[in-house]
Structure 1
């Protein structure tokens, strides 16, 4: 499985963008978990934007990671939501828990 987690350079606006691409399951989530933990621990970060638009596969372990990040009170998902992630959110009825917008730019302006 191929996946990539890229933490974009902060722009001084208190928004940390974590861009995800590829397939995310229990075996590939550690880089994302580490990036999320650093963002949550950084007092300068007031919003964490998870760019999920390029995820090709996501399972319940990805959802669990997102729910843990949601507890920080600072998470916004930037889409559009890929089909596999949208399906997980639909099946679990967890979609309504997340603030989801159409792009990283839109998430920055919330």
Structure 2
């Protein structure tokens, strides 16, 4: 697990508090999605940490389900803490993109960029603050 990944105390619940804010922790695997404060009530900021695969991607799905409401205009998804992702994560990103206006915030980690590019879906996403090669 990365040094940047926030730590939590209780290993059982999926919805946890991280620094006093809600977070969604994978039941299996080492993945966490944290809610971050935003200056705009219509903008939701989520930060993803760890490894997202078929065993752990459920926490991302739950986070998106929890924040995509009729009042949400956009979801900024910060991915710099993602150390591994597979096709299950790509599928969830695509599903999230269909549910709400999803903006990936970079710089995208190399494994995420490679995966999205190899899957042929990198251009499907709006990516902010990314200086990586296309």
SS in 2 for 1:62: helix
User: Following TM superposition, where does structure 1 have runs of at least 4 consecutive aligned residues deviating by more than 6 angstroms?
Assistant: none
Could you tell me the TM-score, scaled by structure 2's length? 0.71
- Say which of 50, 66, 72 aligns to 1:22: 50
* Secondary structure class of the residue paired with 1:81: coil
Structure 1 CA distance for aligned equivalents of residues 92 and 112 of structure 2: 13
Determine the C-alpha separation between the residues in 2 that align with 1:59 and 1:27: 10
Q: 2:37 aligns with which of 3, 9, 16?
A: 9
Q: CA deviation at 1:38?
A: 1.4
In structure 2, runs of 5+ residues without a counterpart are: 1-28
Higher normalized helix content (fraction of residues): 1
Q: Which has the larger radius of gyration?
A: 2
Cα displacement (A) at 1:10: 4.3
How many residue pairs match? The answer is: 102
CA displacement at 1:9 relative to structure 2: 3.1
Of 54, 65, 75, the match for 1:48: 75
Match of 1:107 in 2: none
| Aligned with residue 79 of structure 1, among 106, 120, 132 | 106
Q: Deviations over 1:31-54 (max 9, x none)?
A: 1111101122x2221001111111
Task: Find the counterpart in structure 2 of residue 108 from structure 1.
Answer: none
| Matches of 1:21 and 1:4, distance apart in 2 | 5
TM-score by length of 1: 0.85
Give the CA deviation at 1:100.
0.3
What CA deviation, in whole Å up to 9, does each residue of 1:86-106 have, x standing for no partner? 111111110000000117xxx
